[in-house]
Amino acid sequence: MNKINGLIAATFAAFKADGSIDLESIPSYVDMLINQKVVGVFICGTNGEGPSLSTEERMQITERYLECVAGRILVLVHVGHSSIEEARKLATHAELNGADYISSVSAFYFKPSSAQNLVDCMANIASAAPKTPFFYYHIPAVTGIQLDLIEFLTLAEAQIPTLAGIKYTASTIHEYQACLNYKNRKYDILFGYDELLLPALAVGAKGAIGSTYNYAAKLYNKVVQLFHEGKHEEAEKLHFKAVEMIRLLVKYGPIPTQRAIMEKTGVFLGNSRLPLANLSQENISNLYKELEYSEFLDIVASC
């Protein structure tokens, strides 16, 4: 199974004024991401508001992305759902439509109680797409699931023939490194915290999935380049520009803030669905002022 090397954009959902999904915006969105040199898209995940979409809507979005991407970059489809049966439907649909990978979070209402329980759940989902590589999506800040992932890998390799690895969205770099080095790097462990990309590179990261790669992939690709050229001080300084920007996401709210940034770059996504609250006009104005003051988007454009 090939390893992923490069940045994958965790795409945002696009909605029309009436709240319905906007499939028409996807072609230009995909072209914009390809121009930024991402190697793939991760759709219907956290940033794609997957848990707020119906199964039918997620299937429509998957079909549209696969049609628009047309093999130019990878398409990773998040199929996670609180209902394992719905997740299985999404997994089967993704495979039938040609997804490169599928991924799933744990159920997040009735939660797995042990690593074995978690593996049983993921194996059930993955078996619905027996020809498609599968990533477990580890995001404890959202799911509340914080189990030993080395134990997970040990158990999962015996039960999930299609296991590709883990989408690791947590700040515990030491565990990330342990997963990377499990059985001589047997699995692909994709890093998911954009603000810690440089530390992740230092412990061996090759592939990463992130929300800020939607509009700042050029900057992060430059960080990766500088790191591998041994220009660590330059990489650190450029990476800190991303850290400063991400502090704005913490200040104003991660997903609504990034949707406003996307609009600033020319990609209009509409309003988020409840329970996400959209930014007030005052906060949007303040955000844009801070972005302008930091010159972040200009720095990205120059990379």
Which residues are designated catalytic? 137, 167
In the chain, the N- to C-terminal Cα span, in Å, equals 32
Is the distance from CB of 104 to CB of 137 less than 8 angstroms? yes
DSSP 265: T
Residues with Cβ within 8 Å of 73's Cβ and at least 6 positions away in sequence, in order, are 33, 34, 38, 39, 40, 41
Q: CB 293: neighbour CB atoms within 10 A?
A: 8
Is the distance from CB of 13 to CB of 61 less than 8 angstroms? yes
DSSP 164: E
Stretch (H or E) spanning 240: helix 232-252
Q: Which residue has the tokens 């303040």?
A: 286
State residue 28 phi and psi, 5-degree precision.
-70, -35
Dist. CA 303–CA 300, nearest whole Å: 5
Rounded to an integer, what is the distance from CA 77 to the centroid of its chain? 10
Q: Which residue has the tokens 């189990």?
A: 147
Dist. CA 239–CA 195, nearest whole Å: 8
The DSSP-derived string for 270-296 is -PPPTTSPPPPHHHHHHHHHHHHHHTH
